Structure 1
Amino acid sequence: MTQHRHTRKRSPILWVFLAVLIVAVGVVLVPKMLLNGEGDDPAPVAASEADPMLTVIDKCDPAKQGLKLSDKNRKLTVDGYGKTTIAGLHEQAMTCVMETLQMPGALTDRMYSTVPDDGRLAGEWPGYTVTWTNDPEEGLDLTITRIG
């Protein structure tokens, strides 16, 4: 008599389940590990629904030394650093304000070339108006108003 060995076949369902689980984990975790948070950057102000004036404060003056919001976040007062002023925004933070609000380069050049004898000047670009004075002692001081 011959003996029959009974071998039990294993179901492939367990292996299919494990394969699907591994692929799902890979799809979710691998991009997060590779990006390392880089994909979490906020959208640029122009494309963002966030209040641009609040964005400027958070991004350019986290210490709250030279920017002040008023008029229901429609008016931004910018106090630039000067020789006689202790507080105020230095040039890098001032550039941050101008770039974040997408101020045209010709307007910023005009602001920096203003002298005290010019007094208070005004300009505008889409969505904003600005008035300013520039004095080496007091710094470049702006009042930016969001219109519309």
Structure 2
Amino acid sequence: MTQNDATYPGPQNPADSTESAQMKPMPPLPPAPPAQSGSPAQSGTGPENPAAPPFGMTPYPAAVQLPPSRRNYVLFAGAGIVVGLGAGLLLAQIDMSGSPEPSTVLFDAVQSCGVHEQTGIELGDSGQSLTMDSEGTDYLEEGVDYADIECVLQALDIPDSVTSRMDNTRALDGRQSAEWGGFSASWSYHPDSGTNVVIESVEPGED
């Protein structure tokens, strides 16, 4: 055997050559991207910014904020609604406080004569009108004595001229009317049904 024969490895096994061909080395991983140079805020290593996410991960998006113009519009709209509601409540209170109190003069006159529970005396319109019916010759007609009607009229300070007209009213005269103070009165008379008097409170300046 020559020297060349001593160094010759000899024929290789075909199976060994096939196994070596199948086991190929893995390709190397791609290198990480180099860090960008700049301020600490840009590189993400400064104290104010959190650490940069690992390679291959996407950071969460920042919270969506309204632009300053839309925020101002929302604030102005809310303030306008509050101011409108406050003004409406204030006007409602002024209107309620400015309304006059209902008169109780008719109610007080009926109470003073003690006829508030008698048949033929009826208050209406929340105490702003009074209807009085006296007894007539017809037994089906019920009412109070004419003296009770006179008592209520005197409590309302009826003028003597109006009282005289009532006392002299006939059935043929139809319905009569008069006004004094803050009252408007109308009346009629018939022997069968008696005297009917209707009095209404009149506010100052009302026709």
Please, what TM-score do these two structures have when normalized by structure 2? 0.45
Counterparts of 1:64-75 in structure 2 under 5 Å?
Answer: 64-75=118-129
Check the 8 A contact 1:112/1:140 in 2, yes or no.
Answer: no
- Matching residue of 1:130: 185
Check the 8 A contact 1:121/1:133 in 2, yes or no.
Answer: yes
Aligned length: 99
Q: Which ranges of 4 or more aligned residues in structure 1 deviate by more than 4 Å?
A: none
Q: Percent identity?
A: 27
Check the 8 A contact 2:134/2:194 in 1, yes or no.
Answer: yes
> Structure 2 CA distance, aligned partners of 1:109 and 1:89?
20
Letter in 2 for 1:66: G
> Structure 2 CA distance, aligned partners of 1:95 and 1:125?
16
Equivalent position SS for 1:77: strand
- Matching residue of 1:100: 155
1:116 aligns with 2:171: yes
Letter in 2 for 1:108: T
Greater C-alpha radius of gyration: 2
The Cα of 1:139 is off from its aligned counterpart by 0.9
More strand by share: 1
1:140 aligns with 2:187: no
Structure 1: runs of 5+ lacking an equivalent: 1-49
Letter in 1 for 2:137: K
Check the 8 A contact 2:104/2:128 in 1, yes or no.
Answer: no
1:39-74, Cα deviation, whole Å (9 max, x unpaired) = xxxxxxxxxxx8211112223314321211111211
